[in-house]
Chains A and B, each alone.
Chain A
Amino acid sequence: MTTSERNNEAVRRLYAISESIYDQLEQGKIPKMVLPLRTKANIRFDKKSNVWKYGSQKGARSAKKVQGAMMLLRTSYMLELIRDMINNNRSSTLREAYYISEGWGKAKFHSQDESNMLAEDLEIVTQCLREDFKLRPEEDGARVIGDLNIVETDRKGKRKALNCRDDVGDSGYGIPYNVEKEKVELVSTSAKFVIAIETGGMFDRLVENGFDESEDAILVHLKGQPARSTRRFIKRLNDEMNLPVVVFTDGDPWSFRIYASVAYGAIKTAHLSEYLATPSAEFIGITASDIEAYDLPTDKLTDMDVRALNAELKDPRFNTGYWRTEIETMLKLGKKAEQQALAKYGLDYVTSTYLPEKLSHLGIMRK
């Protein structure tokens, strides 16, 4: 389907929602909209695609409650906004959509979370992507450095070939918010694997140490919890270039979740897991056992950290022997460590010792 075909299909499906609300009102019913429950308890492992998706539990958003009624009302406003943007060939960021709602009177969003959530709900119900709705995130994806040849179609429609190591500055290639084939074509690479890194500091360390060249790696900066486009880009490198993917993060409960959203799919976007998650991605650290094995400088777990770990014990995605051990070890230690704590042993330690040890263990690198 072309972009405009997809846009038209999106409008058609959104109309169906409007019609359903209208019909319920006309028949004197209490309007409602049924959609999958977006909770930890309702994600299931899909054997076919090896990722976590929403299960079969459904919830009703009904006009019986103020919150539900408000969301239904906003749905109609959102439909109108999307229809108008498609007709006029415009687009807006999610944040702009939130501000546009200022003009909706009673229906306006009270926080951007509300507007983001509604956009995701509409994706789920229509099985379209928010890009089809002309909505885009206000932030682009993160940075990439490594020997990768791509062709990007720029904003003026010109195709530009570039190498993600030689044709970019030290900050690397910026992943655009749309990384579909029509925008970014992956051409060739000499790299043997992809390493996705949580923090900018560590990404820059590996760049400075020339890790991409010395070990034939593509470095991807995750920038904390990775944006959809970053995850999609990693998935395409894995699928189309057949590159193994490893994830390198801090050693704390939130980093475990970063890995989970790259490899298993995030709870929030479980409707898109098949499209965003890279099931074969491996977690290399910092693991809870690294903290002891490498005798790393640590911080105490905060109350929030402990709560997060305990929540992970109840998260079906972490219900494996490996993760149980990791989480329980961290709880027992009561400590967490940053990636950059490895600098305790010198600036080269991470590239000369830590990563080679970890990667050879996985068979990705030979010592």
Chain B
Amino acid sequence: MPSTSTAQRLAKGQKEISVSEFFEKNRQILGFDSPVKSLIMGVKEAVDNALDACEEAQMLPDITVQIEKVDQKEYRVTVEDNGPGIMPTSMPNVFGRLLYGSRFHAVRQSRGQQGIGISATIMYGQITTGKAATARSKVEGAEAAKEIDIVIDTKKNMPVILREDYIPWNEVEHGTRVSFYMNGRYVNGRQSVYEYLRQTAIVNPHARITFIDPDGKRHFFDRATDVLPPRTKEIKPHPDGIELGTLMNMAKATKERSLVKFLQNDFNRVSERVAREICSASMLPETTRPSQMTLESCKKLLDGIGQVKIMAPQVDCLSPIGGNLIRKGLKHVLDDVKPEFYAPPVTRDPKVHSGNPFLVEVGIVYGGGLPRDQTVQIYRFANRVPLLYQQGACVITKAIENTDWRRYGLEQRGGSGIPFGPAIILVHVASTKIPFTSEAKEAISSIPQIQEEIELALKACGRHLKTHLNKREQKNKTRAKFEIVQEIIPLMAEKTAGILGKPVPDLRGTITKIMDVVWIDSSVTFEKGRHKVDVTIYNYTPKQQRFSIHTIVPNGCLDEKRCSLAPSEVKDGEKVSWELPRITSTEIYKLSYELSGLDAEAYQDVDLYVSGINPVYVMGADPLPGDWDVEGLNYTESEAAEPEPDPEEAEEEPDYDESGEDLNDDQ
């Protein structure tokens, strides 16, 4: 029969293709789809590996990247780190074999995952230039470094060593250097090697990165902290959202002989009690042998897992950057644009997607030299790696577009889409497994749990921004009024009195009518490791005022001896209260205090609260929150109160238009 013979003929033509061969033919899957991008990918893979290696060995990374131009199309890339080095026997496989890596099977956060990156880069270089790559590595205590010239046999997915030498590398204690040739194109701009390294420096404030560009110019990103991120722990898979296939594989492979033990010992966050609950929810006997579980019973088990509430995975398998370091990293790199405000970054608690823990961090930078008439800049990071491409396909972008930024003080047409304004929004997703849309690792898939977490973090950080913008607007308004009553009105009185030959009138009535407020202004100066805070209280109401003022300082930092007025109470080392003396109408009272032992940026905005006075009459301080006496005042999540409408605003005549715009017939 003809059909059989066709099938036979086809079967003869079918043969195994090696992974390397597959990637050779489909290199865009790995991100090598344009000359500009290829160069960035090459640098990225090498730098990712270097950072991973240093962190795993708990060493502060010191990385040098150099790009040299060989000819019109060809570049040479060299990346050197001070990491622990690679054992000489492993070198051929690390650099010359795809899917060879230590992290593929680990449930743990790292930059590289599959062990494709660096070998694919070397393969790409080999395909485009025909030249071998050179790798050199020295482990601690070794007398010499091993250096190899290496190519990949793409058919067999095996390394081929062309040269192998031991050479003294006395300048370094330990470390690795890899250099390879590749076709590419070097550019500047938002998608460039420079930008990639700059963003890497932001989220890796513990790394020192030196970049030598093709013109020989050195760019230096110094580390902003000497503290390494804690080493991430390997954990077992979390049962939430685990896939059926994975579950079946695990059941086949387990050493445990009963379902309850299997659940308890092979999964994260499953105690004996929880394991029993799962068994009964799945309606499977606790003694079921995992190895004999059928597809049916595995499906039942999956159902059961879904019904039982299981604790979120612990944080220590993830490596969040943390609010303080995100701010430091941003500050360090954005110094030249002098942003007006760094919103306190938000780090969410870990959650789970498909059995993999993840967490989301968000930071927002606003104002200063950032462009005002463009869409905001989005900095996307996955496990501390910048994502420069495929912005539109990424769940981070979707979450940003899905958030109504008008509520947080940015412009956005119709309340969706990428907002406009002088801002940078930084989003970091950390996970033991980042669900990328492709092997090129350019965008994160739209997993609903991840999108929801990003949106929550964006909102929390957005609220900080809004609070700041409200405060700023309030301040500007108050400053303007201040100018009126302090300067313009007295001059007006003097002048009219002079013209009319009458005495200068008492202005208190007018001034308190214009202000009708107690204005509290504060400023912080940092000098010699001390923060000095000056609080000025202006009573611009027609009456005398007597009230208390409160603030929160970082625990134990208040220097009580250096307060201009002794606090009436200091609670839990951080909640400070002062009972102010009587302040008569139009009088000014000054209060100051000092803090010691803090970093300059750890205390910038003073949050002041008042009690014993109607808060409507106070500008520059919020009413004392109801939970002041309860421990741990949570002021990060509270919405900023809408400013009270000015009762004087409603008046007979509209304001006279001082701009005179409408008047000119000519021009």
Contacts and interface: CB of A to CB of B under 8 A. Distances in A.
Interface of A: 15, 18-19, 21-22, 24-31, 34-35, 37-40, 58-73, 76-77, 79-80, 83, 105-107, 113, 117, 224-225, 254, 257-258, 260-261, 266-268
Contacts of A66: 480, 483-484, 488
Contacts of A25: 489, 492-493, 496, 505, 507, 510
A29 B489 contact: no
A19 B655 CA distance: 22
Interface stretch (B231-239, B564-572, B604-612, B658-666): B658-666
Contacts of B484: 63-66, 69
A275 to B, nearest CB: 17
Contacts of B663: 38-39, 117, 267-268
A224 B666 contact: yes
B651 A60 contact: yes
Contacts of B509: 27-29
Contacts of B664: 268
Given A27-B509, A28-B508, A106-B487, A268 B496 contact: no
Contact of B654 (A30, A37, A73): A37
A261 to B, nearest CB: 5
12 contacts: A15-B499, A26-B505, A28-B513, A29-B510, A60-B653, A63-B488, A70-B488, A76-B492, A77-B495, A80-B499, A268-B663, A268-B664
Given A60-B653, A66-B480, A254 B666 contact: yes
B656 interface: yes
B347 to A, nearest CB: 42
A18 B662 contact: no
A59 B480 CA distance: 21
Contact of B500 (A15, A61, A62): A15
A73 B488 contact: yes
Given A35-B656, A69-B484, A63 B665 contact: no
Given A63-B492, A76-B496, A37 B513 contact: no
B491 interface: yes
A134 B2 CA distance: 113
Interface of B: 480, 483-484, 487-489, 491-493, 495-500, 502, 505-510, 513-514, 648, 651-658, 660, 662-667
Nearest to A105: B491
B653 A31 contact: no
Nearest to A64: B514
A64 B663 CA distance: 23
A68 B488 CA distance: 10
Contacts of A257: 665-666
Contacts of A15: 499-500
A22 B505 contact: yes
Contacts of A62: 655-656
Q: Which of B487, B488, B496, B507 has the most CB of A within 10 A?
A: B496
Nearest to B656: A59
Nearest to A107: B491
Given A29-B510, A80-B498, A258-B666, 19 more contacts: A15-B499, A21-B492, A25-B496, A26-B505, A37-B656, A38-B660, A59-B654, A60-B652, A62-B656, A63-B484, A63-B510, A65-B658, A66-B484, A73-B492, A79-B499, A80-B499, A83-B499, A106-B487, A260-B665
Nearest to A256: B665
Contacts of A266: 665
Contacts of A268: 663-665
Nearest to A257: B665
A contacts with B: majority SS: helix
Nearest to A21: B496
A284 to B, nearest CB: 19
Q: Which 7 A-B pairs have the closest CB atoms?
A: A28-B509, A59-B656, A225-B666, A60-B653, A76-B495, A26-B505, A67-B658
A317 to B, nearest CB: 10
Contacts of A225: 665-666
Nearest to A22: B496
Q: Which of A21, A67, A73 has the most CB of B within 10 A?
A: A73
Nearest to A79: B499
A244 B277 CA distance: 104
A257 B662 CA distance: 13
A261 B488 contact: no
A68 B665 contact: no
B457 to A, nearest CB: 39
B495 A80 contact: yes
Contacts of B656: 35, 37, 59-62, 68
Given A40-B662, A67-B658, A267-B662, A72 B492 contact: yes
A267 B488 contact: no
A366 to B, nearest CB: 34
B497 to A, nearest CB: 7
Contacts of B498: 80
Contacts of A61: 656, 658
Contacts of B487: 106
Given A22-B500, A73-B495, A76-B496, A63 B489 contact: yes
A68 B660 contact: no
Nearest to A65: B655
Contacts of B657: 37-39, 59
A66 B492 CA distance: 13
Given A63-B488, A224-B666, A267-B663, A76 B655 contact: no
Nearest to B502: A22
A67 B657 CA distance: 9
A61 B488 CA distance: 14
Contacts of B496: 18-19, 21-22, 25, 76
Nearest to B497: A22
B51 to A, nearest CB: 52
Nearest to A38: B663
Contacts of A34: 653
Nearest to A80: B499
Contacts of A29: 509-510, 513
Contacts of A22: 493, 496-497, 500, 502, 505
Contacts of B480: 65-66
A69 B484 CA distance: 7
Contacts of B506: 26, 28
A105 B491 CA distance: 10
A23 to B, nearest CB: 9
A34 B664 CA distance: 21
A25 B662 CA distance: 31
A257 B663 CA distance: 12
Contact of A59 (B497, B499, B653, B666): B653
Contacts of A39: 657, 662-663
A73 B662 contact: no
A159 B248 CA distance: 117
Nearest to A58: B653
